[in-house]
Amino acid sequence: MQVIRYNDDMREDWNVCIRNSCNGTFLFDRNYMDYHKDRFEDASLMFYHKNKLKGVMPANIQNGEIHSHNGLTYGGLIWDKRTSSLDVGLMLSMAYKYYSKEMGADALYYKPLPYIYHTYPASQDLYFITAKGAELIHRKLSTTIDISHAIPFTTLRRRCVAKALKAQLSVSTAEDEAHWQSFWKILTEVLQKRHRQTPVHTVKEILYLKSLFPHQIRLLTIEKNMQVVAGTVLFITENVVHAQYISSDDVGYKTGALDYLLSSILNSDICQGRQYFDFGVSTEDEGAKLNEGLLFQKEGFGGRGICYDEYLIKI
């Protein structure tokens, strides 16, 4: 097997590998990854056997350390489902050697893709990185609904849905920039007020990504009297509908807008054929602090826990 550092001439090979993989999502497509490539020094690897691409490792290098990947929610080795477990182990060993010998790195920070995103069993990498002595350094708790076996909404969440129906709220899919701008204003104000943070993406960036991935990135909003009062940006993969952003203004909060929105999504065509709805993490400070109020709200919709992990591997 041969390992080669990624360059832009390999873009199409890379994207084909992601599309055919058992544990990749559109976030690994170079059209997505490269929207912020000016912020990260790329250190991605590609693994070939007899001129056939067997796997890829999305990564960046920062201060002499490798991260897979600092610009994404998750990373790790990506491979085709026909790839044997021993070849997965071999690719990881080759990655350690390449990063150490060729790039002078002594550490790899590895964020494996949570199993809910796998389209075929693909946890071999966890075995091999553990055998290498990987240390679990961060664990974030997310909340996920198994759509076909969903736990019913709690009484409180059902009451909020009824309140929204009484307030005559309406759900719509945002196709025009004005709706995105309206939602982004709400989202930014809420994040600033509650967490002193800003969205990971600017509205310009998310609209650009939406133009590249129109089926995978969608905004659904709740309106009252023709005004956006709540919404959620969904990142849609083969197995998972993930709420990348979710927020409401004071009107939406008082009228149960988000409860109605989530109820509508879970019963819509968006979730048909997909196994999971993922709310995202309820932890802060890299998982050290649990937001119990946020967790309580998400579990009221029937969600339960999965983990987003990060490991440190000394190489």
Residue 223's DSSP bridge partners are: 170, 228
Q: Where residue 194 falls among pLDDT bands split at 50, 70, 90?
A: confident
Q: Is the dihedral of CA 160, 165, 167, 172 positive or negative?
A: positive
Q: Where residue 174 falls among pLDDT bands split at 50, 70, 90?
A: confident
pTM for the predicted model, two decimal places: 0.94
pLDDT at res. 197: 85
Over 80: is that where the pLDDT of 41 sits?
yes
Indicate if 144-307 has the same CATH topology as 2-133.
yes
Over 80: is that where the pLDDT of 11 sits?
yes
| Segments making up each domain of the chain, as ranges | 2-133, 144-307
Q: pLDDT, tens digit, for every residue of 110-157?
A: 999 999 999 999 999 999 999 999 999 999 999 999 999 999 999 999
Strand 240-248 to 276-281 pairing:
parallel
Over 80: is that where the pLDDT of 9 sits?
yes
Q: pLDDT, tens digit, for every residue of 70-117?
A: 999 999 999 999 999 999 999 999 999 999 999 999 999 999 999 999
Superfamily holding 144-307:
Gcn5-related N-acetyltransferase (GNAT) (3.40.630.30)
Topology (CATH) of 2-133: Aminopeptidase (3.40.630)
pLDDT at res. 195: 77
